[in-house]
Each structure stands twice: as structure tokens, then as C-alpha cells.
Amino acid sequence: MLSVRRVSMTYRKASGPVFDEVDFTVPEGHLVPLLGANGAGKTTLLRVLCGLVVPTTGTVLVAGRDVVRRPAAARAHLGVSLYPERSFYFRLTCAQNLRYYASLRSLFGARAKSEVAEVLDRVGLAEQADTPFMRLSLGQRKRLGLARALLGRPSLLLLDEPTANLDSANVARFHAILAGHAAQGGSALFSTHSEEDLATATERPLRIEAGRVVPVPALPSPGPATLQEAR
């Protein structure tokens, strides 16, 4: 589903690459957490994978489509949530914002209305459908970002810290959504600092460190030091 081949990213005037010669895959039907310290490059990597940033070298394929050479074809398979706080119109309601994004996926009329209602219900925001974005809490904004990513039933989700600012009930809801997505053959790569999220992994988590992305060794049963050791 996602194939990353020798991808490097170096910003102009930077002393070194953000990441270098990155190779990994996310198979169909699998969920892969992405670990790393703040500033390690997790968000930059996700931006490269969804085509928002062109890598210095290398190739990213989504369902066999190159995200640089065939961006529209690749993005048709992608659901992305990177910056919920900056991704929505503040004065529009949750439903209005999602209907706008549905139109970008060629979803209109009754079909768009139905799908918007469905994804709002899935993330627990059905009662906030008519609430302006600016009145949402941080956790609700995160959930709206996930709802947007689910529009159009994409096969691959790319999510940046999707459980940040969520309470335990909504973390459990997120895990259930991911499990259902994988059960239908979907895949996901999501950055996280949460130990709870590691339990959702169906493949070994990945860690980005010193410009490299490597599989995390099998983790022991959860304990206070587990996630810190994995970072």
C-alpha cells in the first residue's frame, strides 16, 4: 500500500538531512505507529509521504502511484490529518467544513451529506455538527481532523499524533476506528508519543532517529519505561 524507497530530505542551508535514504513499507491491512523525539522529523516525513513536500531524492508510492509524478492518483487513496488547528475555516461549522472537503473528493449533494454525517458519528462529533470550528476544544479539533481523513473511504491513513489531547474514551474510539479500517484492508501510518497506541500496531512500529527510520525491536509488556526506550 505504501512504499518508501531511498527517500532523503534536506532543507536549503541546513547542516544535514532531516532524514536520509529512508526505506520502508506499510502493507495493506496493517497499522504502523511512527515514534521519535520532538524535532526528529516525523511530521516532515508525513508531509513528504502525502506529497505536500517534494523529497530531495527517492520515491514514495501509494497504491503504486508516485506521489510526486501522479499526485492526484496517489491522493485519491490517501486520508491525511496533519494540522487540524490550521486545516479548517474557523467560522464554519463542523459539517460545513467537511462538506467543503468532501467536494474536493468529488462528493456532492446527498452523498456528501450522508458521508459527512457518518464520519462525524464515527469520531463522536455528531452533536457538534452545527458547532463552529472555533468553539471546539483541542480534542474535538483532533477528532474533526480524523473525520476529514476518513472522507471518501481512503485505503491509507497518514496521521500526525491523532490521539494527542484526547481523553481515554476517545483514544479507545480512535483505536476501534483504526481496527475497523485495517479489518477492511486499509492501512495507516501514524506518529505518536502514546504507549497505548503501540497496542494497535499490526506491524513493528518504526522509529525515526538521527535521520534514519528503523523498526523498533519487539517491545516488552507495557511498563513505565517502555515507550521512552522505544523513542
Residue carrying the nine cell digits 511498563? 223
Residues whose CB is less than 8 angstroms from the CB of residue 119 and which lie 6 or more positions away in sequence, other chains included:
98, 147, 148, 150, 151
How would you write the pLDDT of the chain (231 residues) with one tens digit per residue?
A: 999 999 999 988 877 899 999 999 999 999 999 999 998 999 999 999 999 999 999 999 999 999 999 999 999 999 999 987 789 999 999 999 999 999 999 999 999 999 999 999 999 999 999 999 999 999 999 999 999 999 999 999 999 999 998 999 999 999 999 999 999 999 999 999 888 899 888 889 999 998 899 999 765 444 444 444 444
Distance CA 50, CA 75 (A): 7
Edge to edge, the sheet with strand 31-35 lists: 78-81, 156-160, 187-191, 31-35, 206-209, 212-215
Provide the Cα torsion 80, 174, 230, 158; round to 10°: -10
Q: pTM to 2 decimals?
A: 0.90
What are the beta bridge partners of residue 24? 4
What's the CATH class of domain 2-215? alpha beta
Distance CA 113, CA 121 (A): 12
